[in-house]
Amino acid sequence: MYIWLFHNVLRRCSPQDVIINIKHGSYPAVNPDGYSFPKGFVDPATRDRIHTVELLSDGKNTTYVISNPKPGNWYALAYRKWEDPRTQKVEQQGLVADCHTILYTDLQVKRDDNIRLIDCDEGLVISYSDIPATYKCMTIDNIDPINFNLTIIHTSGNDTEVSFLIQALSQPTIESSLLSCYFDPKANNIHTITFTPHPNAWHYFKIDHHVQQNDSRIDNCDLYYTRTEQDDASNHSIFDLMRDDKGRFFTFDYGLPTTDLQDATSLVNLTSGEVRTLRFKVNQFLDIGGTLALEASLLMSLKYYMGYKREFRKSAKGSLLAFSEDNQFMRVVICMDIGHTSVPLQSGQCKYNDHVKPALFVLNSTDSESIYDKVIIPFPDSGSWYLTFRLFCDEVVCPCHSSHNGTKYYVNSSPLDRDEEDVSGNDTRPGETECNATVVLSISSTSCVSGRCSNHGSCLLNTFGGLIMSFCSCSAGYGSWDCSDDSRMDTRVSMLVSVLLLTLSNLLFFFSIYVAIIRLYYTEAMMYAFTMVFSTFYHACDAPAQVAYCITRPNILQFGDFYCGIMCFWVTLLAMSIIGEKLRSSLQLIGAIIIALLTTWNMHSIVAFILPVAVGCVLLFISWYLDWRKNHSLMYKRSYYTTFLPIGIVLVGIGLVCFAFLQTEQNYKIVHSVWHMIIAASVVFLLPDVKRSDTNPFLPSPNFWRLPFCSTFNRSQTPMTAE
């Protein structure tokens, strides 16, 4: 597969680190943001391999080769390498380059046409001169071992040993094979090799010359055959589970066929000496985007759950726990596989041909903590899933390692490391070779985890290119697959301080409102008041959920914050302009409509801010120029041009630099609060005190309460009397 990554090189975009995860059968279950999987999740590393490609978006092509791929659907997840957002700048849209990473891929498949078809049951006869060779055969829907007869003819005294490899679904390699062994065709040219197949699957056989020093991981076929005979279990049965769809995405259950379709809990009855397998299917495309949950528990008697004290049997050297109906010592080993079955071992492992891995569940009747277990599998692989159960009795185990006055005991098939204080005597008690047990099994699939995200996020669906998957959108600083990880959250005190800074910093607008009123700018004072109110409540609502307070929907408060903030600049520039009151009122109304449209179009765009401010500055300078040309004198006091105006311009400049270039997620609460205070303070110096004369600019006029505004609600004329 060839991969090209291009990054927008316009306006100085730097190349980005990109990661591509590729997996067979399902979406790659990864955490790009570095969180670990929650407790109870099956580690994706123990499932089918996830191929990871790391590259740079510099326009250079990269080739990644997957040898002997499995047939079916492959899925790729591509994303930019995660960076901690707390260290990233809060960049204003339009001030920085709009960079995009574009991924181009070209998939090329090379087929091996030299694979010959054979019958799995008839075996193979091959001439030594035809080695190396590769064959394939299709198995039936059966889990019984296959005895494959291999005969090599036309051998000579100089012939070397031959290696024999088997793999399901793809060609075998030493690193990936169901079975790998070697033998000497000169000593015995006929070999019967037994292996457990995948039901209904193509199997590939590779016969090659064996080089001992390079293939030291391959055992002798005779030794493998002996080991297989010891570990395999007889009386192996398989049952298909019944599916119950719930009518929602990724929501279904599986259980044993019953008359109650609403009850997906299965009671699996087990007896010693029997291996039982349950099979269910996960559909491609439709089922792989959810989360599969598997639960299993031993069904014990009521006395067990009530803390029943175990019965003791007196012996010559002490007391031993007796074996009775209520004191059963047993272990159930449950294996989980995709595409095939494996054999549970008493050691708590699962064996499949040459491979041994830990079991999914090991349920012990020793105490209540080990009779139940649960796992969660994100993005389950498509195909046939197999759950294999095997019950092991207490054959010969004692003295019993007990504690809590005999209410808990710990047994194993081998001697235990015992504490002298916990064990009485060294006598033994004969165990049981036959026993039975019942396992309560639940298999269910939901979106996200149990249909929710730990109450700290929203469970959403992502659709792209006909594919759909569920995911958690976390809030309030939570993270991980199910929004349960709070390791990167700030403390409650820190969150509260952040909210207080962002909200209380707006109180400085009270001074702006006061100055605007005493200087007779009533429209401007109302805009400053609305800005203060919307900004305060928007930041209170935009805070983490633990300390947030919303008086209405967040989008309304956000619109009001952005809209009133831009309107403040607009009305202030109009107030500084030398124009008539009628024209100023008209421009205020026109600006209100245009700014509303710009804010609705894209409130985060720099255009929505720059356009009204630029037009206002142009009107300001034109009005000043025309007034100077007409009167050849300054309209405002000299102190306004030499002191107040420069201070206001400096404050606005500092505020814009902080707002546009200095903000990061880490310092946002401080820098943005400074922005609030600087803008509120700049208004005090920018508004010209032109409507009054010989008055302190920060104090009301002596006759302020006699102004027309104060008599607004008085009768303007004498009412007419009825004739």
Tens-digit pLDDT profile for residues 130-140: 888 999 999 98
Cα separation, 86 vs 666, in Å, equals: 5
Per DSSP, the three-state class of 275 is strand
**Residues of the chain where predicted confidence (pLDDT) is lower than 50:** 8-11, 229-230, 308-310, 312-323, 396-428, 718, 720-723
Q: Which residues contact 565 (CB under 8 A, 6 or more apart)?
A: 531, 535, 679
Q: Which residues are bridge partners to 138 per DSSP?
A: 202
Closest CA to 274 of 333, 335, 233, 329: 233
Residues 6+ apart with CB under 8 A from 693: none
pLDDT at 427: 46
pLDDT at 722: 44
User: What angle, rounded to 10 degrees, do the helices at 522-541 and 509-518 form?
Assistant: 170
Per-residue model confidence (pLDDT) at position 389: 94
Q: What is the pLDDT of residue 365?
A: 79
Phi, psi of 205 (to 5 degrees): -115, 125
Is residue 283 classed as helix, strand or coil in its secondary structure?
coil
Work out whether strand 17-24 and strand 74-80 pair parallel, antiparallel, or are unpaired: antiparallel
Cα gap 204→129, rounded to integer Å: 20
Name the amino acid, one letter, at 152: I
DSSP 711: G
Q: Which domains does the chain have, with CATH numbers?
A: 2-106 (no CATH), 115-231 (no CATH), 236-446 (2.60.120.380), 449-488 (2.10.25), 492-701 (1.20.1070)
Identify the burial level of 615 via C-beta atoms within 10 angstroms of its C-beta, where 0-12 means exposed, 13-18 middle and 19 or more buried: middle
pLDDT, tens digit (0-9, with 9 covering 90-100), for 552-572: 999 999 999 999 999 999 999
Q: How far apart are CA 394 and CA 346, in angstroms?
A: 11
Flag whether the pTM goes above 0.85.
no
Distance CA 82, CA 90 (A): 16
Closest Cα partner for 527 from 541, 512, 548, 542?
512
Q: How far is CA 495 from the centre of its chain?
A: 24
Rounded to whole angstroms, how far apart are CA atoms 421 and 418? 9
Give yes or no for a contact between 408 and 370, defined as CB atoms under 8 angstroms apart: no
What are phi and psi for residue 602, nearest 5 degrees?
-165, 100
Q: By three-state DSSP, how is residue 179 classified?
A: strand
- Cβ neighbours of residue 322 closer than 8 Å, sequence gap 6 or more: 310, 311, 312, 313, 429
Residues of the chain by 3-state class (helix, strand, coil), percent to 5: 25, 30, 45
Tell me the CB-side half-sphere exposure of residue 670, using CA atoms within 13 A: 6
